[in-house]
Amino acid sequence: MKKEGLGIETKIVHGSRGENQVTGAISFPIYQSATFRHPGVDQSTGFDYSRENNPTRQEVEKAIATLENGTAGFAFSSGMAAISTTLELFYPGDHIIVSDDLYGGTYRLFEQVSKKNGIKISYIDTSNIEELQTCINEKTKGIYIETPSNPMMKVTDIKKISALKQQQSILVIVDNTFLSPYYQRPLELGADIVLHSGTKYLGGHNDTLAGFVVVKDEKLIEPIQLLQKTIGAILSPFDSWLILRGMKTLGIRLKKQQENAMEIAKWLTEKEEIEKVNYVGLEDHKGYEISINQASGFGGMLSFAVKNVETVNKLLKNVKIISYAESLGGVESLITYPIKQTHTAIPKEMREKIGVNDKLLRLSVGIEDVDDLINDLEQAMKEE
């Protein structure tokens, strides 16, 4: 059966197809060099100093741009470094609309850095298009979305949000960490910039920090290149190689993680100790239909609220296979307590408004045997 272009599974494995042309190495080499020799005056191999460019980092940047169908990708030392650099595109007096349910570190950046730099921030439910429309004013220069959001798994309609930017010059920025380009490609839906914490699903093994920015419009390439080399929070050659290696198995990992997450979500809905389950793949999820239209999968992330806070303590103390730890997206299952870990920077009243309270837990589902994971949750809730 003929089709145009390569399928996403093939793109994931081969990236930008940059195997070493001299040696034929299938695994792209680690160019562990800070600097490069010039052939002569005003001559360059294309690589001068690794803060500006490095062959291994260039390869992973090309790979993520290929997966997101962007014009260029940029690799950073962490997800927060990627977000911080992107926000330098804005100026004092600019207004940015931000998802009210978002990672605590991102909120801290907006509150303690962006506001200090004169940026105006409005936190709203970006899944509510009508509310978002009323929030746009003549100073609005950006809309920053997490979808699905962290940790309440809200789904924002990227196409509808992107259509609003036609009213004026607004950059639509989507954090695509939870679904990755395997399941969702926001640039194809009208977004301008895609962000990733590469630490999570792209790396996939809880062994490296990384962040990515991918752009659609070629006009954004030069400004972000300038910011990347000037601020200097770039991804090292070795970490670039780790992400390249991790991305090759992104598809098969996410398939298994989603399969496990669906079974666990359904099991949790039947437990008397559980009050609510937030998983986009459940048909009664508010964002289910939007997700069906803009993504090809639901991912491996879910959150759930228990009826009694004592159940939280039992789970976190007694899980044996699942690890009580921060982060997400790795092959190992991790359970997180947002109010004590990822969302401590967010004020209590704001957390409670969206449902992030002392009864909420977030689960990053790994690739283990799903029966073992369910049994682990079962025994943890029962054990004293």
- Which domains, and CATH codes, for the chain? 8-247 (3.40.640.10), 250-382 (3.90.1150.10)
Report pLDDT digits (tens) over 142-152.
Answer: 999 999 999 99
* Sheet strands side by side (includes 334-336): 274-278, 301-306, 360-364, 334-336, 323-324
Asked whether the predicted pLDDT for residue 103 surpasses 70, the reply is: yes
Provide the pLDDT for residue 24: 82
- pLDDT above 60 (res 228): yes
Distance of alpha carbon 237 from alpha carbon 75, whole angstroms = 10
What percentage of the chain carries pLDDT values higher than 90? 89
The H-or-E segment that residue 313 falls in is: helix 309-318
Active-site residue flag, 11? no
- How much of the chain exceeds pLDDT 70, in percent? 97
- Catalytic residue chosen out of the listed positions 157, 175, 192, 239: 175
The span from the CA of 48 to the CA of 36, in Å, is 5
Mean pLDDT throughout 3-16? 84
| Tokens 């970006």 -> residue | 126
Residue predicted with more confidence, 345 or 76: 76
**175 catalytically annotated:** yes
Mean pLDDT value across residues 345-374: 95
Judge whether residue 59 has pLDDT over 60. Answer: yes
Name the catalytic one among 57, 100, 101, 103.
103
CB 238 within 8 Å of CB 30: yes
Q: Which of 185, 200, 253, 359 is catalytic?
A: 200
Residue pair 93/85 in contact (Cβ under 8 Å)? The answer is no
- The pLDDT value recorded for residue 384 is 66
Told to judge if 200 belongs to the known catalytic residues of this protein, a careful annotator would answer yes
Q: Which pLDDT does position 338 carry in this prediction?
A: 95
In the DSSP assignment, the letter for residue 28 is P
